[in-house]
């Protein structure tokens, strides 16, 4: 008994980054319930249809710091892009500049999510002639309330 | 009082038992106490090699990596391998936690690497600079995904991102000097010339900018970026015809995908098709 080690192990039922479908996600449907592929596996980038520069321009033009000037860090929205190129099923992560969890003011997070939801044209994950559902993400880098970068 | 304590103890036992029962399928009774340090290292590396043959971030790969970590918790390669799927999925908290474990074990090897990721993936220029400053007291090159990067070059990018153009210029100049002395000019990253050109464009020193940009165009793989910024510099010097020639070359290289880019991230001063079109339109007004 004294030579036995006991470890609690992670079961890892799903791939890292997998997003389960939320029941509250009205109107959004994936093409295949079981298979969501990570976007970085695609050779053709999974991204906004009109290009990264359009995406950045859109957010920089429409972003409003809601009077917040004392918060910095990263707000990441992870979501599914279905095979038709529409997005839904959000999961939100908020981190400080030290990469530890942090709570941003809710109005700011809601504002960014609303801006994101207005974008409906995305390039779906493709392999050959087929398109698939994939999970993808966008991170907003905030510096003293200002939007300074959009990753990746 | 005693009855209260007995009841409390019994209740605690029941709760703990329930927790253990819930965790039964996650409870492993592996034992490595009989292995010496060399055996642990060897077996851990074998599991690491196996994990690398599996899909990144898949349940199988992650379980195999965690097993490698349990066998040898000091195997820093395992911790950094565990971090990658989180980074690629925008789960930066978990990425950082695993990288910190690798750095704790071997800061010489991994702190610079973390700085590279902070710079390229997270645009955390200050955080990256901190890691590079810590790193280059020991080494001057950082290895990432099989490539070597000069810390002078990477610090130049950090200063550029922080808009400290004087320090950026010093770092890029130091990079050019160091690389020329080491291996000859052919291995120099052409983007260093592009960034030096940009620094001087920002200072409105267009002729000096052109010196660097043209040097970059003499390198083995000229970039659309160098032609684009040279076109702008010529345009600002009133040389519309020369500017037109440069922008035409820039467009050709851009269509051939020969411009500064990374697969998953944008780079500093990322060039887009719209930039080329806009500059061309401006130049055409003066032809």
A53 contacts B122? CB cut-off 8 A = no
The shortest CB-CB distance from B34 to any of A3, A40, A138 is to: A3
Q: Is the predicted pLDDT of residue B227 greater than 80, yes or no?
A: yes
Domains of chain B: 38-105 (1.25.40.10), 189-287 (1.25.40.10)
For A25-34, B57-66, B132-141, B243-252, which range has the lowest pLDDT when averaged over its residues? B132-141
B27 contacts A99? CB cut-off 8 A = no
A12 contacts B124? CB cut-off 8 A = no
Q: Is the predicted pLDDT of residue B19 greater than 70, yes or no?
A: no
Nearest Cα residue to B172 out of B192, B188, B190: B192
Categorize the per-residue pLDDT at B4 as very low, low, confident or very high, splitting at 50, 70 and 90: confident
A70 touches chain B (CB under 8 A): no
| Cβ contacts of B50 within 8 Å, gap of 6 or more | B64
Q: Please give the angle made by the CA atoms of A16, A17 and A21, to the nearest 5 degrees.
A: 125
**Share of residues in chain B with pLDDT > 70 (%):** 89
Sign of CA dihedral B89, A51, A95, B111: positive
Rounded CA-CA distance B56/B51 in Å is: 8
Give the CA distances from residue B190 to residues A42, A79, B113, in Å, rounded to whole numbers and listed in that order: 28, 37, 22
DSSP secondary structure string for all residues of B3-25: HHHHHHHHHHHHHHHHHHHHTGG
Mean pLDDT on A61-74: 93
Range list of H helices, B121-260: 125-135, 151-161, 165-183, 190-202, 206-217, 224-236, 240-255
Categorize the per-residue pLDDT at B138 as very low, low, confident or very high, splitting at 50, 70 and 90: low
Question: How many Cα neighbours within 13 Å face the side chain of B172?
Answer: 25
Rounded CA-CA distance B114/B13 in Å is: 44
Rounded CA-CA distance A12/A19 in Å is: 13
**Is the distance from CB of A99 to CB of B124 less than 8 angstroms?**
no
Rounded CA-CA distance B287/B231 in Å is: 13
- Asked casually if ipTM beats, i.e. exceeds, 0.85, the reply is yes
Helix (H) or strand (E) holding A151: strand A146-151
Nearest Cα residue to B268 out of B66, B79, B120: B120
| Cβ contacts of B184 within 8 Å, gap of 6 or more | none
Nearest Cα residue to A138 out of A41, A46, A2: A46
A13 contacts B31? CB cut-off 8 A = no
Contacts of A149 in chain B (CB under 8 A): 123
Give the CA distances from residue A81 to residues A114, A125, B279, in Å, rounded to whole numbers and listed in that order: 16, 8, 34
Q: What pLDDT, on the 0 to 100 scale, is given for residue A2? A: 43
Q: Is the predicted pLDDT of residue B140 greater than 70, yes or no?
A: no
Strand partners, A127: A130
| Cβ contacts of B138 within 8 Å, gap of 6 or more | B108
CB contacts < 8 A (A, B) = 118
Rounded CA-CA distance B138/B262 in Å is: 28
B91 contacts A93? CB cut-off 8 A = yes
**Share of residues in chain B with pLDDT > 90 (%):** 69
Domain limits, chain A: 37-151
Q: Please give the angle made by the CA atoms of B103, B109 and B110, to the nearest 5 degrees.
A: 40
- For all residues of chain A together, what is the average pLDDT? 87
Task: Convert the pLDDT of each residue in A9-47 to its tens digit.
Answer: 777 888 898 887 775 566 788 888 777 787 777 777 788
Mean pLDDT on B260-287: 93
Task: Convert the pLDDT of each residue in B86-107 to its tens digit.
Answer: 999 999 999 999 999 999 999 9
Q: What pLDDT, on the 0 to 100 scale, is given for residue A1? A: 41
- For all residues of chain B together, what is the average pLDDT? 88
Q: What pLDDT, on the 0 to 100 scale, is given for residue B149? A: 82
Mean pLDDT on B199-206: 95
Rounded CA-CA distance B202/B206 in Å is: 9
Give the CA distances from residue B200 to residues A18, B42, B260, in Å, rounded to whole numbers and listed in that order: 46, 53, 19
Nearest Cα residue to A44 out of B57, B17, B264: B264
| Cα B227 versus chain centre, distance | 26
Contacts of B58 in chain A (CB under 8 A): 15
Rounded CA-CA distance B209/B217 in Å is: 12
How close, in Å, is residue A37 to chain B by CA atoms?
11
Give the CA distances from residue B29 to residues A1, A5, B137, in Å, rounded to whole numbers and listed in that order: 10, 6, 43
Rounded CA-CA distance A44/A124 in Å is: 9
**Is A45 buried (19+), middle (13-18) or exposed (0-12) by CB count in 10 A?**
middle
Which residue do the tokens 């000097």 mark?
B177
A3 contacts B33? CB cut-off 8 A = yes
């Amino acid at each position: 008994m004294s030579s036995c080690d006991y470890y609690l192990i992670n079961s890892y039922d799903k791939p890292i980054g997998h997003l389960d479908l939320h029941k509250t996600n009205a109107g959004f449907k994936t093409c295949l319930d079981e298979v969501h592929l990570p976007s970085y596996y695609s050779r053709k980038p999974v991204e906004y249809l009109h290009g990264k520069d359009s995406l950045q321009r859109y957010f920089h033009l429409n972003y409003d710091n809601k009077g917040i000037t004392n918060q910095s860090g990263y707000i990441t929205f992870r979501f599914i892009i279905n095979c038709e190129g529409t997005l839904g099923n959000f999961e939100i992560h908020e981190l400080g500049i030290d990469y530890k969890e942090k709570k941003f003011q809710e109005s700011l997070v809601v504002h960014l999510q609303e801006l994101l939801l207005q974008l409906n044209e995305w390039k779906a994950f493709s392999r050959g002639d087929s398109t698939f559902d994939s999970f993808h993400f966008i991170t907003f880098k905030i510096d003293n309330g200002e939007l300074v970068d959009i990753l990746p | 009082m005693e009855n209260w304590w007995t009841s409390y103890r019994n209740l605690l036992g029941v709760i703990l038992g329930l927790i253990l029962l819930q965790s039964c399928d996650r409870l492993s009774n592996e034992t490595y106490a009989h292995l010496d340090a060399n055996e642990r290292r060897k077996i851990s590396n074998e599991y690491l090699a196996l994990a690398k043959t599996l899909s990144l971030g898949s349940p199988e790969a992650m379980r195999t990596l965690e097993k490698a970590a349990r066998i040898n918790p000091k195997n820093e390669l395992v911790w950094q391998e565990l971090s990658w799927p989180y980074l690629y999925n925008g789960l930066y908290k978990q990425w950082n936690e695993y990288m910190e474990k690798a750095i704790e074990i071997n800061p010489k090897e991994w702190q610079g690497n973390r700085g590279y990721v902070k710079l390229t993936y997270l645009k955390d220029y200050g955080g990256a600079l901190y890691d590079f400053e810590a790193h280059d007291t020991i080494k001057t090159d950082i290895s990432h995904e099989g490539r070597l990067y000069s810390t002078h070059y990477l610090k130049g990018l950090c200063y550029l991102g922080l808009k400290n153009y004087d320090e950026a210029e010093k770092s890029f100049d130091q990079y050019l000097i160091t690389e020329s002395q080491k291996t000859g000019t052919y291995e120099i990253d052409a983007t260093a010339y592009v960034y030096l050109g940009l620094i001087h464009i920002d200072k409105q020193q267009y002729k000096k900018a052109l010196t660097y940009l043209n040097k970059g165009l003499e390198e083995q793989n000229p970039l659309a970026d160098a032609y684009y910024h040279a076109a702008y510099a010529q345009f600002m010097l009133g040389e519309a015809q020369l500017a037109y020639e440069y922008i035409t070359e820039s467009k050709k290289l851009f269509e051939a995908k020969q411009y500064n880019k990374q697969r998953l991230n944008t780079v500093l001063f990322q060039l887009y098709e719209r930039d080329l079109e806009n500059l061309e339109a401006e130049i055409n007004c003066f032809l």
